[in-house]
Amino acid sequence: MKTGFGRFRPALLALALLTACFSAACSGGGTESSPPASATKAEQHGGVGGSGSKHGGKIKIGFSMDTLLEERWQKDRDLFKAAGEALGAEVVIMAANGDDAKQILQAEMMISQGVDILVIVPHDAGATAAIVKKAHSAGIKVMAYDRLVKNADIDLYVSFDNEKVGELQANAITSIVPRGKFVYIGGADTDNNAHLFKKGVFNVLQPLIDKGDVSVVYDQWTKDWTPVNALANMRSALSANGNKIDAVIAANDATAGGVVEALTEQGLAGRIPVAGQDAELAAAQRIVEGTQTMTVYKPIKLLADKAAELAVKLAKGESPGADRKVNNGKIEVPSVLLPPIAVDKNNIDETIIADGFHSREDVYKNAKK
Ligand code: BGC
């Protein structure tokens, strides 16, 4: 979808509402409601007096988020804010909850309010290129956080090794089911990560497909990554194959939740291996209960800390020292990619629980004694 600023030029009322929201330092979805959080107020008052802004004084980081409607992004928001403030920066956060026009509008607001650096989690990898252009023409550098912005002169990309995420999923599942009928429930087609996760999965599956050991009997994107769309996809996969499916790889834990729901309806939950990612609490609980086989843990704190550190460097005009390059269709983007970790019931204690990502008590809450 092509999106230009002209097309989304705000109506005066919307602009006024957003201005009010910005001044009050909203961290939620602009004028719409967002999940309750510790970081909803005083986004503009944090920090310990660091300096280095182009305009003198405290560096102001604008964090433009796609959504806060998933557990992981609430962690990202809180951890990124804390990391930025610990470095003496001020962090302004806005979330568009899946609305491209709103994300662009919010970014435009942050630019006009004078942020020193813009950090974006794009809803649509292509549409947000408009934000990069706008920021650059105002002399503001732009970092892509977790998800790449495509076809834009983005300054830096900080994420996990997303292709590796898919490889970890497929390795875990094929070590249990080396041959059979596989279902792939993808992420949102608009998210570059969804393509990388899928590429990683097929890096592992393709040789098995070529040998005739594995067949992928269903392969669909999940619009906006929602569990309800994944549930519908998984119902279709089951009915198209008369329930004869041997394994499911879902692009994340939200979609894995929809998959497990569809399997439960058919009395198959716990009998067909399912992979997800994000180490969400519900997924960790499904793992110990036995209805989900594995997840991929991405330590969000490392990502948030690294992104905040490099955002401050970029804002000060320093080199971020990024060692990798990722092609975004336009340029080779300097990138930092952190390693993801496969988690199943055997290492859940020493990974997500040991890290304090979730408490042992929460993870084992529903487990049979
Ligand atoms: C992230 C995943 C997340 C998904 C849906 C992806 O870009 O990398 O961690 O589950 O978006 O929000």
Ligand 1, pocket-test mutation among 124, 128, 145, 146, most atoms within 8 A of CB: 146
8 A C-beta contact, residue 322 and residue 311 = no
Ligand 1, pocket-test mutation among 164, 195, 278, 295, most atoms within 8 A of CB: 278
Domain locations in the chain? 43-159+300-338, 162-277
The one-letter amino acid at 3: T
Give the largest CA-CA distance in the chain: 66
Taking CA atoms only, the protein residue closest to ligand 1 atom 9 is 278
Taking CA atoms only, the protein residue closest to ligand 1 atom 10 is 252
8 A C-beta contact, residue 2 and residue 150 = no
| CA 191 to ligand 1: nearest atom | 7
| CA 165 to ligand 1: nearest atom | 8
SS percent in the chain: helix, strand, coil, step 5: 40, 20, 40
Taking CA atoms only, the protein residue closest to ligand 1 atom 5 is 225
Hey, what are 290's tokens? Answer: 């036995």
CB-defined site of ligand 1, < 6 Å:
70, 72, 146-147, 187, 191, 193, 225, 252, 278
For the chain, strand residue ranges (E) read: 60-65, 90-95, 117-120, 141-145, 156-160, 180-185, 214-220, 247-250, 274-275, 294-297, 324-327, 332-338, 341-344
Q: At 93, is the secondary structure helix, strand, or coil?
A: strand
State phi, psi for 185 to the nearest 5 degrees: -105, 105
| CA 193 to ligand 1: nearest atom | 7
Q: What pLDDT shows up at residue 52? A: 60
Using DSSP bridges, classify how beta strands 247-250 and 214-220 pair: parallel, antiparallel or unpaired. Answer: unpaired
Q: Which residues contact 318 (CB under 8 A, 6 or more apart)?
A: none
Torsion of CA 278, 282, 284, 285, to 10 degrees: -170
CATH top-level class of 43-159+300-338: alpha beta
Query: What CA–CA distance (Å, rounded) separates 101 from 97?
Result: 11
User: How many angstroms separate the alpha carbon of residue 252 from the centre of ligand 1?
Assistant: 7
Using DSSP bridges, classify how beta strands 214-220 and 180-185 pair: parallel, antiparallel or unpaired. Answer: parallel
| CA 66 to ligand 1: nearest atom | 12
Taking CA atoms only, the protein residue closest to ligand 1 atom 3 is 252
Ranges of the chain whose pLDDT falls below 50:
1-51
User: How many angstroms separate the alpha carbon of residue 188 from the centre of ligand 1?
Assistant: 9
* Domain with residues 162-277, CATH architecture: 3-Layer(aba) Sandwich (3.40)
Torsion of CA 196, 198, 201, 206, to 10 degrees: -110
Q: What pLDDT shows up at residue 55? A: 62
Q: Which residue has the tokens 């998959």?
A: 259
User: How many angstroms separate the alpha carbon of residue 41 from the centre of ligand 1?
Assistant: 25
User: How many angstroms separate the alpha carbon of residue 48 from the centre of ligand 1?
Assistant: 31
Neighbours of 9 (CB within 10 A): 12
8 A C-beta contact, residue 258 and residue 234 = yes
Sheet order of strands, 214-220 included:
214-220, 180-185, 247-250, 274-275, 294-297, 341-344
Q: What pLDDT shows up at residue 366? A: 84
- Please indicate whether the domains covering 43-159+300-338 and 162-277 agree at the CATH topology level: yes
Query: What CA–CA distance (Å, rounded) separates 167 from 204?
Result: 6
Q: What pLDDT shows up at residue 25? A: 36
